[in-house]
């Protein structure tokens, strides 16, 4: 039995302010205080006022500060009891939801995509309020539309059940839901990451989603205003979807210890995530990890230099604070000078600005100490600064106090020493990319060296190759074992139907890492044999 919520209904929010309680067992439940969201624009225009407004409101929700135009929304905060209540609600709903025919559950994905398109403007406003440049927000929406595209949904459904006839038997391979899946979205992309819970729901699981406490609004909007009504529309049991805004460690500790949780979908840094994986396994839970990426782009001598440079400059989208952007480049020496010149030219068009402004792709970088440490280490180690390297204000003016970083490119000569540079070896998560120029050698040796370099990466999210040579392309396709996705002559970060959107190997996906289809990852394969007029004795020993 579920415990009754002790909290009373929340006080009414000020007019025009988006306000979200906790969402548990199909009901809005009051929390233990509020966390407020101020607009991304306000943090660039007047950071002191913005921070003061947040602090004032979190101390006194009845304050007149709620009327300030910088304040866009608030989310209730979950305490330990609410976190546990959400898990109990999910566990209570799980058996009935798992029994719903898959065809009905799959309709959720179709309707979800339709509602995303219908609410595009609000989707963009939510992300812009959380400092995502509007152009980047459009890309994030396009990614979700590909994940839930009709062709993708049909492909997922085919993976969930296969039937064969054999010697008077109907043989079935189908995937059964794992049960209760907990989701931990990251702060840099909470809404798109939380949207993956719909795939777990389609698999027949119930879910609990933790909205990041520091940036909860878009996640709660998506779950409460988009997903929850769709579940009601298809008569899903109350408790199938639960959403709480809470402290990460507090929540992870409770999820790990709670026997009602089956899977935990964790998106975050590798160091913390790999420790978390061990804890999950020790407590009998399935860890599904989306951790750091250190993606590489290989540019062969016959590549289209202009388009390869376009893919490379994706490294600067969101100021590099996206796990799947390129982090390093390997280039054939025959084309290195042209490529570096083209990248330098294209970087000139990547500017800072307010998130509402069209064509802005850079986001503020609040903690830039590591950027300058890795840049200085690279230059001291012999790298050459190609462009960038400074802080800037929102208008692009170089400034020691600016919250933006210039898109920065360094040249590193030689594969042999490249991994002595932290900027090559580790995920950076800011707008800094090294272009590694290989030593001159015959092409067969260079191809082998590039493959060894890519496959020896400690991380394994995505890799890209640029080449017109069928031999080079087929060699990479056949022998690139690192990573969850290989893109050839294409956008590095673009999403496509059918192909996996997430997942990877090594420090990206952990011990069980591979390409990740969340609908498959949150379910498990079961075999079934249905016999008619078959003697068990004959089945064992033969007729």
CATH of the domain at 463: 3.40.309.10
Cα–Cα distance for residue pair 430/407, rounded to 1 Å? 9
Q: Same domain for 383 and 263?
A: no
What stretch of H or E contains 280?
A: helix 270-282
Q: Are 322 and 490 in contact (CB under 8 A)?
A: no
* pLDDT score of 5: 41
Last residue of a domain, one of 291, 319, 346: 291
Strand partners, 54: none
The reply to whether 154 falls in a domain is yes
Q: Same domain for 299 and 183?
A: no
pTM: 0.94
Q: Which segments of the chain have a pLDDT < 50? A: 1-8
* pLDDT score of 58: 87
Which long-range CB contacts under 8 A does 8-12 form with residues at least 24 apart?
10/76, 11/61, 11/62
Cα–Cα distance for residue pair 508/519, rounded to 1 Å? 19
The reply to whether 276 falls in a domain is yes
Residues with Cβ within 8 Å of residue 84, at least 6 apart in sequence: 254, 258
The reply to whether 510 falls in a domain is no
The reply to whether 119 falls in a domain is yes
Which CATH number does the domain housing residue 113 bear?
Answer: 3.40.605.10
22 phi, psi to nearest 5 deg: -65, 150
The reply to whether 272 falls in a domain is yes
* pLDDT score of 15: 59
Token pair of 198 as six digits: 């719909």
Q: Same domain for 338 and 244?
A: no
Cα–Cα distance for residue pair 364/493, rounded to 1 Å? 20
Q: Same domain for 370 and 427?
A: yes
Cα–Cα distance for residue pair 454/91, rounded to 1 Å? 42
Residues with Cβ within 8 Å of residue 207, at least 6 apart in sequence: 90, 180, 181, 182, 183, 197, 200, 201, 240, 241, 242
Q: Same domain for 466 and 479?
A: yes
Token pair of 421 as six digits: 């540079």
* Pairing mode, strands 286-290 and 485-488: unpaired
* Pairing mode, strands 71-76 and 34-38: antiparallel
The reply to whether 251 falls in a domain is yes
Please, what sign has the CA dihedral across residues 392, 122, 141, 289? positive
Range of 351's domain?
A: 295-500
Token pair of 190 as six digits: 């909470």
Q: Same domain for 95 and 243?
A: yes
Q: Are 425 and 438 in contact (CB under 8 A)?
A: no
* pLDDT score of 197: 99
Q: Same domain for 203 and 312?
A: no
Q: Same domain for 153 and 233?
A: yes
Tokens 């500060």 locate to 65
Q: What are the CA-CA distances from residue 348 to residues 148, 387, 408 (Å)?
A: 35, 9, 11
Q: Same domain for 473 and 361?
A: yes
Q: Over the Cα atoms of the chain, what is R_g?
A: 25
The reply to whether 269 falls in a domain is yes
Q: Same domain for 320 and 360?
A: yes
Total structural domains in the chain?
Answer: 2
Please, what sign has the CA dihedral across residues 131, 135, 141, 147? negative
Q: Same domain for 211 and 244?
A: yes
Q: Same domain for 399 and 456?
A: yes
* pLDDT score of 171: 98
């Amino acid at each position: 039995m579920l415990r009754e919520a002790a909290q009373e209904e929340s006080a009414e929010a000020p007019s025009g302010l988006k306000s979200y309680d906790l969402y548990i067992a199909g009901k809005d439940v009051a929390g233990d205080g509020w966390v407020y969201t101020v607009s991304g624009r306000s943090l660039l225009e007047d950071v002191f006022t913005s921070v003061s407004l947040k602090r004032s409101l979190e101390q006194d929700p009845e304050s007149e500060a709620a009327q300030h135009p910088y304040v866009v929304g608030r989310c209730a905060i979950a305490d330990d009891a609410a976190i546990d209540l959400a898990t109990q609600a999910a566990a209570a709903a799980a058996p009935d939801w798992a029994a719903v025919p898959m065809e009905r559950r799959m309709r959720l994905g179709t309707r979800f995509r339709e509602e995303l398109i219908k609410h595009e403007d609000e989707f963009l406003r939510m992300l812009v309020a959380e400092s995502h440049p509007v152009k980047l927000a459009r890309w994030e929406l396009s990614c979700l539309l590909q994940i839930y595209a009709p062709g993708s949904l049909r492909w997922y459904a085919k993976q969930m059940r296969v039937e064969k006839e054999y010697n008077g038997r109907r043989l079935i391979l189908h995937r059964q839901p794992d049960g209760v899946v907990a989701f931990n979205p990251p702060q840099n992309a909470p809404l798109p990451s939380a949207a993956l819970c719909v795939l777990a729901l389609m698999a027949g699981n119930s879910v609990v989603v933790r909205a990041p406490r520091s940036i909860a609004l878009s996640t709660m909007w998506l779950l409460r205003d988009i997903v929850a009504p769709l579940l009601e529309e298809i008569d899903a049991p109350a408790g199938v979807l639960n959403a709480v805004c809470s402290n990460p460690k507090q929540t992870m500790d409770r999820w790990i210890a709670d026997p009602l949780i089956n899977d935990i979908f964790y998106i975050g840094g590798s160091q913390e995530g790999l420790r978390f994986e061990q804890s999950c396994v020790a407590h009998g839970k399935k860890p599904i990890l989306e951790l750091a990426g250190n993606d590489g782009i290989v540019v062969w001598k016959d590549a289209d230099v202009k388009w390869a440079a376009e893919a490379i400059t994706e490294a600067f989208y969101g100021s590099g604070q996206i796990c799947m952007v390129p982090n390093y480049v390997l280039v054939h020496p025959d084309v290195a000078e042209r490529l570096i010149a083209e990248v330098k030219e294209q970087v000139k068009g990547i500017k800072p600005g307010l998130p509402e402004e069209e064509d802005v792709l850079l986001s503020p970088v609040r903690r830039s100490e590591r950027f300058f440490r890795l840049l200085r280490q690279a230059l001291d180690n012999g790298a050459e600064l190609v462009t960038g390297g400074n802080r800037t204000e929102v208008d692009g003016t170089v400034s020691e106090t600016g919250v933006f970083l210039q898109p920065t490119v360094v040249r590193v000569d030689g594969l042999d020493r490249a991994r002595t540079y932290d900027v090559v070896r580790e995920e950076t998560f800011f707008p800094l990319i090294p272009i590694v120029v290989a030593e001159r050698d015959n092409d067969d040796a260079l191809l082998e060296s590039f493959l060894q370099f890519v496959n020896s990466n400690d991380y394994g999210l995505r890799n890209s190759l640029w080449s017109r040579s069928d031999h080079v392309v087929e060699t990479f396709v056949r022998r690139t074992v690192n990573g969850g996705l290989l893109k050839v002559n294409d956008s590095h970060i673009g999403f496509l139907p059918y192909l996996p959107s997430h997942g990877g190997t090594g420090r990206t996906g952990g011990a069980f890492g591979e390409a990740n289809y969340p609908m498959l990852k949150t379910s498990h394969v079961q075999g079934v044999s249905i016999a008619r007029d078959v003697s068990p004795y004959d089945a064992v020993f033969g007729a």
